[in-house]
C-alpha cells in the first residue's frame, strides 16, 4: 500500500515528497517500531549536519562566522556542543571555513559512534575501517590530539581522502595503516577499537526522487561472514579492560545482532550500555526463526523517523570480568 505524498519544509523551501509505490524495507516491518512513520521518513531529504572541529575553533565563534554568511547552525543536543544542524548551506566543500578545518560535514548518527565509544585522552585506539576519516578525526577531537589512533584501511586509494581529512582537521595523533581489518596484526593491543565495518548501507537510503529505489546486490550475502571475522579480530585486539564499538549503517539483523551474537558465543565478551545523549531503540533478540542472546537488548538501533539522520546500529563491547 503506497503513501500519499505531501509537502516537506527544508531550509525554508517547500519540498514535495515522492509517493511510495510500494513499502520500502518491508521485511523489517516486524522489528521497526512505528513502521509507517519509518517509511515516510525515507522520503525526506537527509538534513545537513556539521561537527564543529574543536581542535581548531570553538563552536560559538564558528556559529557567528557562519551566520554572517547566511548559514544558521542549530545545536542538536544539550550533551555535546559540537554537533549542529545547518540551514542555508548549499555546498560546504566550497567554504573557506571548510578548508580551514573549522567544521566537518558528517551525519549525526555517524558522530554518535565516536561519542558512544568515547576514547579517553592519552589512550591507544584502533579504527579498523577508517576512511574517509570522519570518525577518526572525531575521536582525535575527543582525545584532544593525545594518545595514538591507528587509522586502518585496506585500500591505498582510500588513504588519500583519509589523509586529506586528517590533515585538514589538524589531527596530529593518528597514523595510517593498510591491513585487512580481519587480519590486523595481533602484536599490539588497544584501549579502544572502533569497528565501523563494511555493510549493505541500507540506513543511508532516502527516496527523495520517484526514480530512486534501494537496490540490493549479491555481494550483501557475503557481508555477514566478513563482519564476523572483523568483530572477532577487533575483540582479540582489545586490552583486558578495553572497549570496542561495533557499528553499521544498516537495518539488517544478519549484519547487526547476528554478528554480535556470534561474538558472544565465540568469546568471553560482554555487552555494555550505549550512551549518546539521544534516545534509541534497543537491539532485537529474535529475527524470523533465529533467537539471539538476551544481552543484545543493550545494543542500540537508530531509525530516521526517531532521529533524522542515517539509520545506524551500535553495540558497545567489553571483556567479561
Chain segment 104-163, per-residue pLDDT in tens:
999 999 999 999 999 999 999 999 999 999 999 999 999 999 999 999 999 999 999 999
- Helices and strands in the chain, H and E counts: 8, 17
pLDDT at 64: 97
* CB hemisphere CA count around 306 (13 angstroms): 17
Decide if pLDDT at 91 tops 90.
Answer: no
For this structure, is 249 an active site residue?
A: yes
Lowest mean pLDDT among 51-65, 118-132, 210-224: 210-224
In the CATH hierarchy, which fold is given to the domain comprising 108-319? Rossmann fold (3.40.50)
Contact assessment for residue 122 and residue 148, using Cβ atoms and an 8 Å cutoff: no
Burial 132-164 (b: 16+ CB within 10 A, else e): bbbbbbbbbbbbeeebbbbbbbbeeebbeebbe
Query: Of 78-87, 161-170, 203-212, which has the strongest mean pLDDT?
Result: 161-170
Mean pLDDT, residues 11-18 taken together: 49
Residue 92 is placed in which grid cell? 560546504
Q: Is the per-residue pLDDT at 21 higher than 70?
A: no
pLDDT reported for residue 24: 81
pLDDT (mean) for 50-78:
94
Under 8 Å between Cβ of 223 and 177:
no
Q: Phi then psi for 9, rounded to 5 degrees?
A: -95, 130
Amino acid at each position: 500500500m503506497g503513501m500519499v505524498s505531501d509537502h516537506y519544509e527544508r531550509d525554508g523551501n517547500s519540498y514535495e515528497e515522492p509517493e511510495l509505490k510500494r513499502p520500502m524495507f518491508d521485511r523489517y516491518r516486524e522489528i521497526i517500531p512505528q513502521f509507517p512513520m519509518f517509511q515516510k521518513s525515507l522520503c525526506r531529504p537527509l538534513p545537513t549536519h556539521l561537527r564543529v572541529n574543536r581542535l581548531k575553533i570553538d563552536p560559538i565563534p564558528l556559529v557567528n562566522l557562519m551566520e554572517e554568511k547566511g548559514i544558521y547552525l542549530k545545536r542538536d543536543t544539550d550533551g555535546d556542543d559540537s554537533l549542529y544542524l545547518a540551514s542555508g548551506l548549499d555546498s560546504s566543500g566550497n567554504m573557506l571555513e571548510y578548508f580551514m578545518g573549522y567544521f566537518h560535514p558528517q551525519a549525526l548518527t555517524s558522530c554518535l559512534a565516536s561519542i558512544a565509544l568515547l576514547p579517553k585522552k592519552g589512550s591507544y585506539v584502533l579504527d579498523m575501517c577508517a576512511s574517509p576519516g570522519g570518525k577518526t578525526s572525531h575521536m582525535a577531537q575527543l582525545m584532544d590530539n593525545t594518545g595514538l589512533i591507528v587509522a586502518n584501511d585496506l585500500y591505498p586509494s582510500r588513504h588519500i581522502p583519509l589523509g586529506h581529512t586528517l590533515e585538514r582537521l589538524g589531527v596530529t595523533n593518528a597514523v595510517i595503516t593498510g591491513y585487512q581489518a580481519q587480519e590486523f596484526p595481533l602484536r599490539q593491543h588497544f584501549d579502544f577499537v572502533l569497528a565501523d565495518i563494511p555493510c549493505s548501507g541500507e540506513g543511508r537510503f532516502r527516496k527523495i526522487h520517484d526514480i530512486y529505489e534501494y537496490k540490493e546486490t549479491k555481494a550483501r550475502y557475503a557481508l555477514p561472514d566478513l563482519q564476523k571475522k572483523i568483530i572477532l579480530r577487533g575483540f582479540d585486539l582489545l586490552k583486558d579492560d578495553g572497549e570496542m564499538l561495533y557499528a553499521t549503517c544498516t537495518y539488517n539483523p544478519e549484519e547487526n545482532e547476528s554478528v554480535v551474537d556470534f561474538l558472544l558465543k565465540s568469546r568471553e565478551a560482554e555487552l555494555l550500555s550505549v550512551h549518546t545523549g539521544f534516545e534509541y531503540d534497543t537491539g532485537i533478540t529474535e529475527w524470523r526463526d533465529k533467537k539471539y542472546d538476551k544481552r543484545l537488548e543493550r545494543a542500540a538501533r537508530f531509525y530516521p523517523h526517531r532521529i533524522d539522520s542515517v539509520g545506524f546500529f551500535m553495540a558497545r563491547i567489553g571483556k567479561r570480568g
